[in-house]
Structure 1
Amino acid sequence: MSRRATGHVGVWAEMQRQRQRELEAEARQRRQEARQARAYERRAAQSYREYKQAEAIRRTEELDAQVAALQELLASGCRAPAFRPSTLMLAEDLPPLAAVVEGVGRREPDAVVEYFSAALYTSTAWPEGFPRRVAMTYDPAARQLVVDWELPAGSVVPQSKYIRYMYAADQYRETPRPVGQRRALYKEVVAQCMLLVLHELFAADESGALDSVALNGFVDGHDPTTGRRAQIFLATVMAECSSFRELHLAQVDAESCLAEALRGQLSARPDQLVAIRPGRRPEEVGHRVATHGGDEEPDLYEMDPIAFEGLVAELFEAMGMQAVTTQRSNDGGVDVKAFDPTPIRGGQIVVQVKRYRNTVPPTAVRDLYGTVQDAGANKGVLVTTSGFGPGAHTFANGKPLELIAGRELVDLLRRHGLRGRLGDGDRTDSAPPLAPLPEPSLPDDYNILGMSWTGSVALDVCALVCRGNRILSDDHLVFYNNPQTPDGSVRTLPATAPDRAAICASFDTMPDDADRLVLVAAVDPEANPDADLSGFTDARIRLLDPALTELGQLQVSDGRPHETALVLGSFRRRASGDWDFVLGGKGYPGGLEELLREFGVEVD
């Protein structure tokens, strides 16, 4: 049986946390205003080239500061003041806090849980944006607190290492942080978070209620073994108070301390969501389990309109763009102004934000198009909490407009380290729920190949497992009617935005006689009987890991008139066992049937 923490300390803790959120929002606004002011000063005092170079240096320094903060998470957290009841903001009309403190002294489970939940929830030791979700119970016989604590996702580690300004191309170029560095730093962050939680709990224990703490650290993600969204445990430890107090946390190596000194367990690959078996869980104790912080994810329907626009601006910044909200008056129909530094397809973007519950009418899309033309922007984006009808999509087709519905918005927020939900059910009135992933277990190690393109043409994306230019068998053609190969090493997956199709491939478990994985696209003759691939443009393949972290992008040739099927490219096994991508480009006027016959597939 579980319950929300609703006692007096919980009320006070929520007041304190709300004030912290307000201060964080004010700080973000001040930082944004300061950035804008500095940018104006630089523009006035420097040449365009110098400004761009200075901006690249500033962005690189921000990346370095983020990494330094992660590396010093435990040390800086230990310097934060320990939780004391007197630090909570007290309302005059609430009962005295002494009753809760006395309950902790008597080892009353509800009081103990209330007290230590507040200690974690109101802590100032955690960086802004880190999760605060906790489930907790207390075993008075063992004097043990049993805790499940949410860890930050792998996206907390910056993917870029530094940014340079390329004057000749007038663009910024981001150098990715090596995968090995990202993995190592995230593993270190997980270990530091576990130690910091233990430190805060034991430091808050003035009455000696805790002999030990059983702590499990989890993240929300797609379980690689099932493909379903679940709590995935990445670390666990049972720490005795006497042993823990002997540690000098500011000097320890977090991973060694957790695994060796405290005999805990840490996932070998937390970045890949490789789970460990948690230790004692709160629901196993036999007392009521209290949860706190789970509702911190804001309901987008109920957000203040200005805060909602700010969240959308944060999303665009998290996606690598520059974005600011506009003034409420004289904004010309623009809520957020963004700039995409990507060459060729980038440029100025105007964003309109509609916090609706009902379907957005086509008139709103027409108005956005007029705003794009008036502003001379490269693209217009309409973001809503609801959905769009056929009329809106029909008008947007072929125009520099992008429509982002509620479910897609929530998915983008979560994939870029931000939070938001759509009411209690987390779904829009007009958008259907996302399709579930396949029931069979996914391979232990796999990649997701996410494919996207512009244009309205309806396409079927297929994968062929081949030796040379011949398919191994008809069963090794993966498409909507045959969603996986016999061994399950290649299969279709539901695509997540911005992808429009997705293939799961476990290269290490492919048949020994397979040396190619060929990806093809073909016009759907039932949906678009008269279409060709001239509407297949700006195509790309994103290489993702199981946590949906983007590892790289592969450019794909555009389609051509009179062709209705196209080889996008193929992954080829080299003598070393590695797989390289070779760009395709060969088109077929006879559609998918002609293409498949060339690869040896028997087509009825």
Structure 2
Amino acid sequence: MSRRSTGLVGIWAEMQRQQQRQREFEARQLRERERQERAHQRQLAQNHREWRQADARRRTEEIEARVTALQSLLTAGCRGPAFRAAALLRPEQVAPFSPGALAQPVPLPHPQQYQAQGGWTANRRAQAQAEARARFEHDWQAAQAAEARRQQQLADHRRQYEQWAQEQLAEIRRHNAGITEVVEGVARRDPEAVVAYFSAALSASTAWPEGFPRQVSAAYDAAAGQLVLDWELPRYDIVPEVKSVRYMPSLDQDKETARPVTQRRALYREVLAQCLLLVLHELFAADEPGVLESVALNGFVDDHDPATGRQAHICLATVMAPRGLFTQLHLEQVDPVSCLTDALRGRLSGRPDQLTAVRPARRPEDVGDGVVTHGADGGEEPDLYEMDPLAFEALVAELFRAMGMQAVTTQRSNDGGVDVDALDPAPITGGKIVVQVKRYRNTVPPTAVRDLYGTVQDAGANKGVLVTTSRFGPGSHTFANGKPLELISGPELVDLLHRYGLRGTLGPARSAQPARSAQPAQSVQSVQSAQPGRPAGSARPAPPAAPPATPPDHNVLGLYWSGQVALDICALVCTGNRVLGDDHFVFFNNHSTPDGAVSTFAPAPGDKAALRVCFDALPRAADRLVLAAAVDPQTDPHADLSAFTDARIRLLDSTMAETGTLDVSDGRPGETALVLGSFRRRPNGDWTFVLGGKGYPGGLEQLVQDHGIEVA
């Protein structure tokens, strides 16, 4: 019969059994964690393979789509509408007067809102009534003063609008009169008018894919009814060198299958033939007045001559097409190369990839000596929007040279995403600079800024500069903040050009009408136009914006904190946790929302930052105003928010009198951005403050992405 062990030995044995069970439990847990980790790694590997395979398929599909677009260039172009001069006319109307918040009168206080409060005795009740009357009179006088200021601002804004509207109508009428004059000149077969009309037809075309050049030099032989022109063709690299992309899991890399040289050359010749046929189609389709008996067309590329090594116009195709013969063709069903060389008796280079030239039949310079030139007047400011892409890159390179740097433009092919290579000779701050040029009308997407950053890293450059004719959104500025990147918007570019003695405008410069030649028998026009965009004359300057009214009940949010960390204070006007739009993100590169409801403000003594907020002026769609702080990576590149402590928000009224304070969360180590809190709209229209505290190790970039702003 067994018996239980007692005493110290029994206790020791029981402790050993418990420790053994604990060790076994921990070993089982460790094995389970290792099993889960192995499963997680397998899943990551599987997801990685699937993503890489999908990315390879996407790249292949993009290549195939580009090839399909090249093959169907002529067919798609023939389906577009014919050019008519009426498309260039602008309607004689301007945007209506929009005073914005100035249209709303300042509400006057009502006596019933000022009831006497308190008072158990007659004297106290009388005193309370006197205080209520005093408050009413003070607020009534303040509202009257605000209403007087509003009416004055409204009258000033109406005068500005009327002046602007008169200028716009006068400009529209001048433009329309110029179009009418050109049309009448075409009917008279005036060479200058004919060249201007058909150059506009080619410039306004939407048939050309992105990346196709638009440079044309033209002349009109009035006696023969022949338009003679040189048209720039795309280069060989327009045809993708890669045929397909396949992901190889064993090497964890993509394998590109090269397109056969013979196939690539054949497709390039087909593209060149389609270009010439499409130009002829657009010219004859636009000839509503019937002034073209024939067209002599030369297609060239602007490249280095293989024989001399110098930059030259190399003619790769030429054709002389009579109207009667060309209009009988069914272009949507022809083989482009056979149509150009056989039906129209044109010439097409057999080896255009090697820049083997053909001899043009007739050049614009051969038309005559009485030459009138348009678009190259040295006294006019060039329109950056309409400038040829190569000329625009050359202008940017010239700007960098004017700033004391060495700069050259790169070749179009194999440039690695670099348009201009620059070298700053400064011994400490200088170095290699890669420059990308974006001649856009719309906002540059953040992906372009991220691509530039990748190019800077790949090239081992000290800095990357992105130059555009448009602008950048908050996502782009947020991504570039703290990185060796510099973003130059359109207005900044124009300012730099003028500062260093160069020329350029955003949009056509206003100038006197050029005088006609004394010998208008023939004319030549060189037009360097942009990529397909809006029709001419469709864009008008915006009317003067109404100055944001500043009601007397706006608030100032003063922020202060302990610690020496340098911070950027931001505000996001949101619906839920999604910002209304890029313009409703107030930060170091956007100091105010469009309506002026939220803007940066000079901090009062004792505060380190401040924002001005008019809650009543916030958009109706907004139900949240989020306040955030982020480390300034340029000032403190290695700092985090651990030094952000004892932070407060002081609520100040319009007279800068403090009405209260709000506590916010302290920062934490490893985090570089923090949501301080948010003002939230209540159902009754009031706003209440909710403490934040969510931190982001990825800085402002991660924070704004979490609120719906695209950064990459």
Which range, TM-score by smaller chain? 0.3 to 0.5
TM-score, structure 1 normalization:
0.46
More helix by share: 2
Which of these two proteins has the greater Rg computed from alpha carbons?
2
